[in-house]
Amino acid sequence: MKLSTYARKLGISYRTAWRWFKAGKLAGYQADTGTIIVTDPIGEAIPTVRHQKIAIYTRVSAAENKDNLEGQAKRLLDYCAAKGYRVTAVVKEIGSGINDSRPKLLKLLTDPTLTLIVVEHKDRLTRFGFNYIEQLLAMQGRRIEVINQAENGKEDLVQDFVSIVTSFCARLYGQRRSKRKTERIIAELQNGEESHHPSQTEPG
């Protein structure tokens, strides 16, 4: 059958199916017209959605955003229920999106039995390198499903930006001076932002 038909029957995107084909996970061939024909029977090479082990992953950068963490989980559970997904794990983690040592996320990524990870936004999974993770999982017959492709709000972005600045300051000035340098840089940026948004009471 055509790759597009195979993807639709399996409940996955065409892009994911194409990656599986290119990675050698699907038996088939490409016709002279460019159409990819899959010869793998449905249900043998890749597990169907019904038989997948599915996890929800939620993340916020700081503990004070815990309400947002619960909100993410609820929205993802509602989404999975509407799609008919049977969720086996709801993972909630507090940590920066640039931190590549988050233990709960690492546990999901290294669990070969976990076939689908559902997140609300790409940056809930990681601030950088999402495509690398997605392609590596696709080569294992696993995938990530992002329910909202729109850009996320700036609240969590600020927290991650502070983490980046702190890291660079620590390298440049040492741990002792990094906190003061970071606070100064953030304050200057905030003052600059305020100067571009004059008060409504000021004359136009």
The one catalytic residue among 4, 13, 61, 178: 61
Q: Which two tokens stand for residue 159?
A: 């927290």
Residue 97 in domain: yes
Residue 44 in domain: no
Q: Which two tokens stand for residue 180?
A: 């003061």
Catalytic annotation present for 61: yes
**107 and 58 belong to one structural domain:** yes
**162 and 133 belong to one structural domain:** no
Which residues are 143's β-sheet partners? 116
**106 and 175 belong to one structural domain:** no
- Give which of 92, 106, 87 is closest to 59, Cα–Cα: 92
The H or E element spanning position 170 is helix 154-173
Please enumerate in sequence order all residues whose Cβ is within 8 A of that of 46, keeping only pairs 6 or more positions apart, or say none: 10, 12, 20, 25, 26, 40, 141
**159 and 180 belong to one structural domain:** yes
**29 and 60 belong to one structural domain:** no
State phi, psi for 30 to the nearest 5 degrees: -110, 120
pTM to 2 decimal places: 0.58
Residue 133: Cβ within 10 Å count: 16
Which residue range is the domain that position 180 belongs to? 154-195
Virtual torsion, Cα 175, 179, 184, 190, nearest 10 deg: 130
**70 and 128 belong to one structural domain:** yes
Q: Could you say which DSSP state residue 2 is in?
A: B
Query: How many CA atoms within 13 Å lie on the side-chain side of 175?
Result: 0
The tally of domains found in the chain comes to 3
Per-residue tens of pLDDT for the chain, all 204 residues: 888 888 877 767 888 888 878 877 777 888 888 899 888 655 444 555 556 889 999 999 887 778 889 999 999 999 999 888 889 999 999 988 878 889 999 999 999 889 999 999 998 998 888 989 998 998 888 999 999 876 655 555 656 666 666 666 666 666 666 666 666 766 666 666 555 555 544 444
Predicted pLDDT of residue 28: 82
Predicted pLDDT of residue 52: 80
Round to whole Å and give the CA distance between 165 and 169. Answer: 6
Virtual torsion, Cα 39, 116, 123, 13, nearest 10 deg: 30
Q: Which two tokens stand for residue 67?
A: 């309400």
**185 and 105 belong to one structural domain:** no
**64 and 138 belong to one structural domain:** yes
